[in-house]
A and B are shown apart, each in its own frame.
Chain A
Amino acid sequence: NAGVTQTPKFQVLKTGQSMTLQCAQDMNHNSMYWYRQDPGMGLRLIYYSASEGTTDKGEVPNGYNVSRLNKREFSLRLESAAPSQTSVYFCASSGGWGSGANVLTFGAGSRLTVL
């Protein structure tokens, strides 16, 4: 089925370890996003990529880096994980323009625990 695929679904890290969350979409969407979801805080935007070749910071970018590898793939990297980064991470994509603009399609989420 068409959609957004995130890996891994679950990950446990120790403080200071690094890891990369992978995201791929097969809907030919221009724009991709990384959000984190914490209890009582809704979803907060970490980074986004309006189109292939561009990335920009969202509300909470500190401690993260991203790479828009090509039109399909958008990865999120934690260089030195901290307990405050324990969260559920969602990747999303959107068509970017016209009737599909701003309608996000979400992946199933990646639950990250940092000890």
Chain B
Amino acid sequence: AQSVTQLDSHVSVSEGTPVLLRCNYSSSYSPSLFWYVQHPNKGLQLLLKYTSAATLVKGINGFEAEFKKSETSFHLTKPSAHMSDAAEYFCVVTLWNTGFQKLVFGTGTRLLVSP
């Protein structure tokens, strides 16, 4: 079965320091993987996606993620945090069901950024 695990429920960083949000997945086939961001009281927005092309994926707002098949990981990184990055981040894996792909969400990581 396909699933996704976000290893940290909360991550705290200082502005200007690197960000690392961890995600591990399990899948019986080559998955598509995504990161979505949710700012307070807002809907979710796509940050980036991996669909079996380049293993290093660049997204919006300076975020990137690397697909590592040997480690079944898809960690999200950013070199330098900004106050506006404070939000909740969701790692997502695809799930096939009768020829239609559905998305399975992780439980989320809340990123806190202090001045």
| 0/1 string, B88-114, CB within 8 A of A gives 1 | 001000100100111101111000000
By DSSP majority rule, is chain B's interface helix, strand, loop, or mixed? Answer: strand
Q: Inside 8 A of A44's CB, which chain B residues have their CB?
A: 105
The range of chain B's interface size is 20 to 34
Q: Output the least CB separation between A97 and chain B (Å).
A: 10
Q: Inside 8 A of B36's CB, which chain A residues have their CB?
A: 104
Instruction: Tell yes or no: B32 within 8 A of A by CB.
Output: yes
Q: Given A42-B90, A43-B90, A102-B32 in contact, is the A108-B43 Cβ separation under 8 Å? A: yes
Q: Inside 8 A of A42's CB, which chain B residues have their CB?
A: 90, 105-108
A1-36 CB contacts (< 8 Å) to partner B = 4, 31, 35
B43 touches A102 (CB 8 A): no
Instruction: Tell yes or no: A74 within 8 A of B by CB.
Output: no
Chain A residue nearest in CB terms to B107:
A42
